[in-house]
Structure 1
Amino acid sequence: MNAVIFDMDGVLVDSERVVWESFRYAGEKTGVPDVERMAIIGLGLNDEAWIKRFRQEFGADSDRILEHEEAYLQNFYANGAAPAKKGAQRLLEQLCAWNIPVAVASSSPAAVVRGRLERVGLLQYFTAVISGDMVGRSKPEPDIFLEAARQLGSPAALCTVIEDSPNGLRASRRAGCRTLFVPDLWRPEEEHPELYDARFADLDTVREFFAAEH
């Protein structure tokens, strides 16, 4: 293991639940049923791919839903921040102590990625920060992980990716990285060996796994 690449939302920062609540709120305000399913459908997509999929799902209701969803998010982040995920700081501290370079590869825009990580005190640990607006294709294509590996100076095959979404897992696999799955909102009842090499309950158990390898 030469390097570790993290997704952000749902892996390092507990922000996916905020998105789920924003869609639930928008559904209540507009009367459109089952809007919160978009919080799962859109996991791992960059903004362009996400909006395209959203409009496919909700058609003429899209603008009304987005108005309320965005208002909820603006109010939430104006008054606070999504917290770091359990074990995130301990894992990052350990990797730095082992001199293993780490990157974050998130589909969110660069300003969002840096802002959320800085607010929870995690930005300092990263050698490279790769955002969805820095690559041509969204997850599940491998571009973002290949770029992260390039910036870390490591072959993708020697990088370990930590992901929580099916789109992110597929992107990591296609990049040729070792892929670890730490579930958040998406919690499949069945195992999906085609998507990941190992599944963990949280980042503390990932840290124990790495310690056994080190």
Structure 2
Amino acid sequence: MRKAVIFDVDGVIVFSEKAYQKRRAHFFEKIGLPVSKKMQEQFVGSNAQDMFEYLVPNDEKKREKLLQAYKAFRGQYSLDYKEMFNSDVSPTLEKLANKNVRMAVASSGPLENIYQILEANRIKEYFELITSGEMFARSKPNPEIYQYTTEQLHLLPSDCLVVEDSKIGIEAARRANLPVAALKSHQFNIDQSQATYQIESTSQLLDLI
């Protein structure tokens, strides 16, 4: 039996990626930076720093200026995380807790944003550890976020199960030698072929632990 389940947030706990894509599109339009919809889909699961490193690879000063401008823009752009909430999550967390399965979060998103999502949907108390990709030099697909999480839980990778949706999130977990359950995305056509398991609902996690 698995001892812990580690959850990604965006695309798993909340279906937020379309809203994030719309927010980014508004910002790119505002600053006059041409970014196609197809290119935007490459950013699913990544954080703002990695996004601007991709968009502005050879000008560190400009990249940092754009990153700070985007963070300020993002802070003024209100999102309803209750509306985006995956309704399967609460009963799944309750059942996992009843089985004494430990739970953690490992998300590429900003820590402040992660807390907003968990608190808005009243599920923060289920998670003993909350980890953000901004805590590391490199976020997903770098495996460090998952290596750190398992180390902090004092568990072996084989004792844990990761729940992801994005290609880069799945890659990060697999590179950390963790089994991954990929939650099918209904917003994007995501390559989830590297996942250990494919699931349609978080309720199926109960069958995998």
TM-score by length of 2: 0.81
Contact kept, 8 Å, 1:101 with 1:126, in 2: the verdict is: yes
Q: Which moved more, 1:131-140 or 1:91-100?
A: 131-140
Contact kept, 8 Å, 1:27 with 1:34, in 2: the verdict is: yes
- Measured against aligned partners, the alpha-carbon deviations of 1:104-135 in whole angstroms (never above 9, x if no partner) come to 00111211111221112121110100111223
TM-superposed deviation, 1:32: 5.9
Structure 1: distance between partners of 2:197 and 2:3 = 18
Cα gap change, 1:19 to 1:36, in 2 (>3 Å): farther
- Helix, strand or coil at the partner of 1:115: helix
Structure 1: distance between partners of 2:180 and 2:107 = 15
Q: Which moved more, 1:84-93 or 1:97-106?
A: 84-93
Contact kept, 8 Å, 1:110 with 1:131, in 2: the verdict is: yes
TM-superposed deviation, 1:23: 3.2
Letter in structure 2 aligned against 1:128:
L
2:206 matches 1:211 = yes
**Residue matched to 1:119:** 120
Q: Which moved more, 1:65-74 or 1:20-29?
A: 65-74
Letter in structure 1 aligned against 2:81:
A
Alignment of 1:39-118 (within 5 A): 39-56=40-57, 71=73, 74-77=76-79, 80-81=80-81, 83-118=84-119
Contact kept, 8 Å, 1:26 with 1:65, in 2: the verdict is: no
Contact kept, 8 Å, 2:28 with 2:34, in 1: the verdict is: yes
> Could you list the runs of 5+ residues in structure 1 that have no partner in the other structure?
none
TM-score by length of 1: 0.80
Letter in structure 1 aligned against 2:135:
M
- Helix, strand or coil at the partner of 1:76: coil
TM-superposed deviation, 1:165: 0.7
TM-superposed deviation, 1:100: 0.4
- Helix, strand or coil at the partner of 2:137: coil
**Residue matched to 2:149:** 148
Compare the two structures and name the one with the higher helix fraction: 1
**Residue matched to 2:132:** 131
Contact kept, 8 Å, 2:52 with 2:66, in 1: the verdict is: no
Letter in structure 1 aligned against 2:183:
V
- Helix, strand or coil at the partner of 2:56: helix
Contact kept, 8 Å, 2:179 with 2:196, in 1: the verdict is: yes
- Helix, strand or coil at the partner of 1:75: coil
Contact kept, 8 Å, 2:6 with 2:104, in 1: the verdict is: yes
Cα gap change, 1:202 to 1:69, in 2 (>3 Å): farther
